[in-house]
Structure 1
Amino acid sequence: MKNKYTATALGLYINYIVHGMGVLILSQNTDSLQAQWGTDPAGVAKVISMLGIGRLLAILISGRLSDKFGRKPFIFLGMFTYSAFFIGILFSPSVFVACIFGVIAGLANSFLDAGTYPALMESFPKKAGTANVLLKAFIQIGQFGLPFMVVALTNANAWYGWSFVLAIAIFAINAIFLLKRPFPDQDAQQAADGKAPEVVTATKFKSKPKMWVEGICFVLYGYVSQATFYLIANFIAQYGENVADMTKSSSLLLISYYSTGSLVCVAFTALVAQKVRPVLLVVVYTLISFITITTMWMIPTPLICQIGSFVVGFSAAGGVMQLGLTVMGELFPAGKGTITGIFYTLGSVASFTVPLIASEIAKTNVQNIMLFDAVIAGVGFVLAIIIYIRYKQTVVID
């Protein structure tokens, strides 16, 4: 609590509660939006897909601009554009107009990420892993709470838009709260100008990291880490029913085990990352994912799928991607906004390409989806080992 940026971080975390709501708010209000736009579920799904396109369009350039213009402007830009999305959806008369605001939501997500991840890494340089992983927890809070609110509004026959209004109100109050809060990159600039004490950094190097070695590994890891848990999240129910011979209801519960594992890992990592270097956790979590997914492919029984769903949720979806970004920020501290953009751009590409590949695989043999995921996780482990070796060679470990 002695850190001068603690209040700033609290405001940043609150933003991600709203982001968690934003991820699900369209799918949770499908019936109301269908009636408003005069469309069917496919029309709403089309709008939801626009969020990914908007994110992919902006994440790389917004990261670079965050390095140039600062974290605070991009965080406020993200809050403003996200609010524009919530307002725009409420007043969109058609799917076409809603798609435009869907793209805006993707842009907003990119702006928030480009400002928030670097700001947290700079605010807590010695606890960057914990700081970044906690974002996952606040996203989960938003995703957990929104369905209850939607159900309550539905049962009360109230206007569906109140959930959107709540999101806007949180942003408005939080913007006022963050307006006067200090940001580390601003303090660093003042220090460079001789107007403030020098900002302490955490990383000391034996030799300069090489972008063409560990940099490329991190870029590929951004793709692999997203792909690993994305496959499980989207296909585990189908795998449980068609391959493990589970009942429909039992297979649907696998995603609950997966989500529980993710939440447990967030809490565990938030504690452990203060004592263990994030780079070691990246290796361990990626190895656990590889072993677990391989086991689920080789021994597709109901019990293995239930245990495996929890373990993969823990090891692959509980914050390892954020930890990977944290380590990349340690090795390339000069442009954290840029590396955030690069890292998550490949993650966004995975969100598009992996489901397409997996869908084609599922047409012939659903079990091979798990084999595909095991191969991806195996590649991720190899990349994690290379990153770990290069980290030990380049970073001074106190």
Structure 2
Amino acid sequence: MMKRSSFSVATGLYVNYLLFGMFNIMLASHMSFLTEHFHTDQAGISLLVSAMGFGRLFTLYISGVLSDRYGRKPFIVAAGLLMAVFLVGIPLSPSFEMAMVLAVLAGVANSFLDSGTYPALIEAFPQSSGSATVLVRGFISIGAAFLPLMIIFFMNHDIFYGFSFFVPALIFGLNAIYLFKMKFPDMRVQSPKESLRDTSVSGVEQTVELVANDRSKPRFWQEGLSLILLGFTGPTLLYIVQLWLPTFGQQFIGLTESESLRLLVYYNVGSLVSVFVLVIVLRKWIKPVQVILIYPCISLLAFGALLLFKSQTAAIICSSIIGFSISGVLQLTLSVMSEFFSERKGQITGFVYTATSLSYTVIPVFTGFLLKHSQISSVFMLALIVNAVGIALAVFVNFRYSAVFPSSRKLSSTIVFDPE
């Protein structure tokens, strides 16, 4: 039975990611206010976003390693406090240079949050780690949907725009205090597979050993590297859709600006539906390693249909399906990698999310180059290619998974437990 403390800790972790959903789009949502405040232009605000990305990129790996050594709590608490500092500091910052420093610190906070939270969730819910981690995506989406409503409320009541920074900052700070007082799960927690392999119950050891002898050992340079590359391909698809879907709707399909923007609404609805579906099906019917193959196959068909059928109806349906099929893949990739390399959860989180950060750094430049020399359809052709690569990687990971882990059915049918 799951300890109540695990749910208490998870509550605080999910609150952090609901706030992170707001944090993640805070600068973009206040573009006009911030350009005036810092006497800059949109390119200057984009530079702040890039500074956050660089701060994250260059600290993810080391924060993952240190998380394995010193525990999850210090990094999660530090992340909440640093994000609160950033959110308070930006609207009060006297100069653009100070804002750049705060943006780098925000990137560091992001890396701390990821390298601490995902391993902590896996350790808190070892038997349902896929569901636990994919819920993060749902809370991010909820936060991202709530922020614009809060901004509109403050604008309609002539309230200083900085309060939309201050409110999540206050909650981040309070939540950091809450998590500091919590007892986190044991970092040495074993997954069900490991427990079966290590059991010493009489009458079981020989059978488990015979099954284990048929296993292949995890190989970092094979399935490990494949999963890291999936940490690049998955976020690439997310970025392309979130950034270029409205442009695609206008230029390729001929929609109006408002109609094209609604495509993102349908995309986000599909994303939220996916999270709740995954939470249900991952408990009984399907494994995370299977989802990271099935979902890319679905999104490949949806991207193809989006390019093939130039109609508003097709665009709405395809946008919803794409949102459904690329949501949660990154979190499940991390969950699968944690199964392969369970003794280094923080480190492998750093590996996967470093690849994610590279995607967010490289893809904007590359897609901008494509648009400069070609049409918007070329960006979505790139999405098709990246999607196909993701499928090939997932096929290999599934093959290795079947070799490394004996099926639960095989274990349950061969093991006869001692009544004591």
Q: Assess if the C-alpha contact under 8 Å between 2:76 and 2:176 holds in 1.
A: no
Residue identity matched to 1:118: P
1:236 aligns with 2:245: yes
Q: Tell me the secondary structure at the aligned position of residue 193 of structure 2.
A: coil
Which residue does the alignment assign to 1:371? 381
How far apart, in 1, do the equivalents of 2:391 and 2:310 lie? 22
Aligned counterpart in structure 2 of residue 258 of structure 1, from 245, 256, 267: 267
> AA paired with 2:9?
T
Preserved CA contact (<8 Å) 2:80 2:175? no
How high is the sequence identity, in percent, across the aligned residues? Answer: 37
> Structure 2: which amino acid aligns with 1:181?
M
Contact 1:82–1:108 (CA under 8 A) maintained in structure 2 = yes
2: distance between equivalents of 1:179 and 1:351? Answer: 31
Q: Is 1:278 matched up with 2:279?
A: no
CA contact (8 A) 1:79 1:171 kept: yes
Once structures 1 and 2 are overlaid, which stretch shifts more, 125-134 or 31-40?
Answer: 31-40
1:334 pairs with 2:343: yes
Structure 1 counterpart of 2:324: 314
Instruction: Tell me how far 1:48 sits from its aligned partner.
Output: 2.2
- What displacement does 1:300 show? 3.5
Give deviations 1:15-50, integer Å, cap 9, x for gaps: 111111111222222333233222233322221222
| 1:52-201 matched pairs, under 5 angstroms | 52-185=53-186, 188=188, 199-201=189-191
Going from structure 1 to structure 2, the CA distance change for 1:369 and 1:172 (only over 3 Å counts) comes to closer
Q: Is the 8 A contact 1:71 1:185 kept in 2?
A: no
Shift of 1:214: 0.3
8 Å CA contact retained: 2:14, 2:136 = yes
Residue number in structure 1 paired with 2:193: 203
Deviation sequence 1:213-271 (CA, Å, 0-9, x none) = 10111111111111122112111111122122223322221111111111111111111
Letter in 2 for 1:338: Q
Please give the alpha-carbon distance, in whole angstroms, between the structure 2 residues aligned to 1:242 and 1:161: 35
User: 1:336 Cα shift?
Assistant: 0.5
Q: Which residue of 2 aligns with 1:300?
A: 310
**Quick one: which amino acid aligns to residue 170 of structure 1?**
I
Structure 1 residue 384 displacement after superposition: 0.6
Letter in 2 for 1:119: A
Q: How far does residue 144 in structure 1 lie from its aligned partner after superposition?
A: 1.4
DSSP-derived class of the 1:5 partner? helix
CA contact (8 A) 1:56 1:348 kept: yes
2:192 counterpart letter in structure 1: A
* TM-fit CA distance, 1:148: 1.2
AA at the equivalent of 1:172: G
Q: CA separation of 1:253/1:287 partners in 2, compared to 1, >3 Å: closer, same or farther?
A: same
Would you say the 8 A contact 2:270–2:320 is kept in 1? yes
Q: Compute the TM-score of the two structures, normalised by the length of structure 2.
A: 0.88
- After superposition, give the CA deviation of every residue in 1:348-397 in whole Å (9 maximum; x if it has no partner): 11112122222222232221221111010001001111101110111122
Cα separation, 2, equivalents of 1:154 and 1:246: 29
1:225 to 231, 234, 259: 234
**8 A contact 1:137–1:263 mirrored in 2:** yes
Q: Report how far residue 291 of structure 1 moved.
A: 1.6
Partner residue, 1:51: 52
Cα distance change on mapping 1:67 and 1:230 into 2, 3 Å? same
Q: Is the 8 A contact 1:44 1:95 kept in 2?
A: no
Following the alignment from structure 2 to structure 1, what is the Cα–Cα distance between the partners of residues 233 and 193? 26
Distance 1:93 1:61, change over 3 A: same
Between structure 1 and structure 2, the one with the greater Rg is 2
For residues 147-177 of structure 1, what are the alpha-carbon distances to aligned partners after superposition, in whole Å with 9 as ceiling and x for unaligned?
A: 1111111111112222222122212221232
Residues in 1 aligned to 2:30 and 2:240: alpha-carbon distance in whole angstroms: 25
Distance in 2, Cα, partners of 1:54 & 1:136? 22
For residues 359 and 329 of structure 1, what CA distance do their matches in structure 2 show?
34
CA–CA distance in structure 2, aligned partners of residues 302 and 110 of structure 1? 39
Mean Cα deviation higher: 348-357 or 203-212: 203-212
What is the deviation of 1:289?
1.1
Unaligned runs of 5+ in 1: 189-198
2:181 partner letter:
K
How many residue pairs are counted as aligned between the two chains? 386
Distance 1:389 1:253 in 2: 39
CA–CA separation in structure 2 for the residues paired with 1:322 and 1:142? 17
Judge which range, 374-383 or 74-83, deviates more.
74-83
> What is the CA-CA distance between 1:82 and the residue it aligns to?
1.0
1:347 correspondence with 2:356: yes
Q: Return the TM-score normalized by structure 1.
A: 0.93
RMSD of Structure 2 on Structure 1 (CA) = 1.6
Structure 2: gaps of 5 or more residues: 195-211, 409-420
What letter matches 1:290 in structure 2? L
Give SS of 1:158's match: coil
Residue of structure 2 equivalent to 1:214? 223
Structure 2 CA distance for aligned equivalents of residues 338 and 261 of structure 1: 31
Going from structure 1 to structure 2, the CA distance change for 1:169 and 1:297 (only over 3 Å counts) comes to same
The equivalent residue for 1:196 is none
Q: Give distance in 1, aligned partners of 2:172 and 2:25.
A: 17
Runs of 4+ in 1 over 4 A off after TM superposition: none
Between the aligned partners of 1:13 and 1:61, the Cα distance in structure 2 is 23
Letter in 1 for 2:14: Y
Offset of 1:106 from its aligned partner? 0.9
Distance 2:314 2:366 in 1: 24
